[in-house]
Amino acid sequence: MSFNDLRLSVAPRLSGVGNVSRIVEAFGEENGLAEPQVYAINLALDELIANAVTHGFADVTRPRIDIGLRVDDDRLVLTLTDNGAPFDPTRHAEAADTESPLEERSADNLGLHLVKSVADRVSYEFSAGRNHLTMERDLAGVAAWRRSGTVVGRGAR
């Protein structure tokens, strides 16, 4: 397997995110990705793994999370598959609070707001008992999080 097409099975625990990040950093180095690109991937992975581990596996005897990461022409493609409760982050919209003054500010939904902000495209399907999430980030041009406009955060499952 070449290192521009990474596949990884992740321990379904919060403590797993550090190890994943080191592998993603090595992937970034191998593929000449700039630091903000690597950060965007690791940020998305931290949020998505934490969300699955915290909310997805209550009724699952053998939790499993698989990750794929590849450079596809001028895009980074991150896929995350898990056998947790069905959860479609592209629906279930609940906005993150990015406006309230400090005393009223909530951090709810912030993680998925960040995932959507660092991605140019996010798609989801549930098939064969698994959540399949695909996140794409363009390597050239202006990334989504540089564009102005409303970005809607998504509620955790």
Partner 1 sequence: MDIEVAEERTEETLILLPVGRLDSANARSFEALVMEHIEGGQQSLVIDFSRLNFISSSGMRVLLIAAKKLQASRGTLVLCAMKDHIHEVFRISGFDRIIPIKDSRKAALGVTG
- Name residue 81's beta-bridge partners: 66, 132
| Cβ-contact 14, 65 below 8 angstroms | no
Please tell me whether residue 103 binds partner 1 under the rule CB under 8 A: yes
- In sequence order, the 6+-apart residues with CB closer than 8 A to the CB of 100 are 106
The nearest distance, CB 128 to partner 1, in angstroms, is: 27
Which of 70, 110, 124, 139 binds partner 1 (CB under 8 A)? It is 110
Please tell me whether residue 142 binds partner 1 under the rule CB under 8 A: no
- In sequence order, the 6+-apart residues with CB closer than 8 A to the CB of 145 are 40, 117, 118, 151
Please tell me whether residue 128 binds partner 1 under the rule CB under 8 A: no
| Cβ-contact 116, 136 below 8 angstroms | no
Amino acid at 96: A
The site map against partner 1 for 4-23 (x = CB under 8 A) is ----------xxxxx--x--
Cβ proximity to partner 1: between 2 and 106 the closer is: 106
Place of tokens 């097409």: 5
What's the sign of the alpha-carbon dihedral 15, 19, 25, 31? Answer: negative
The nearest distance, CB 103 to partner 1, in angstroms, is: 6
- Name residue 93's beta-bridge partners: 154
Q: Which of the ranges 46-54, 75-83, 86-94, 127-135 carries the binding residues for partner 1, by CB under 8 A?
A: 46-54
Please tell me whether residue 84 binds partner 1 under the rule CB under 8 A: no
Note the residues at the interface with partner 1 (CB under 8 A).
14-18, 21, 35-36, 39-40, 42-43, 46-47, 49-50, 96-99, 101-103, 105, 107, 110-111, 113-114, 117, 145, 151
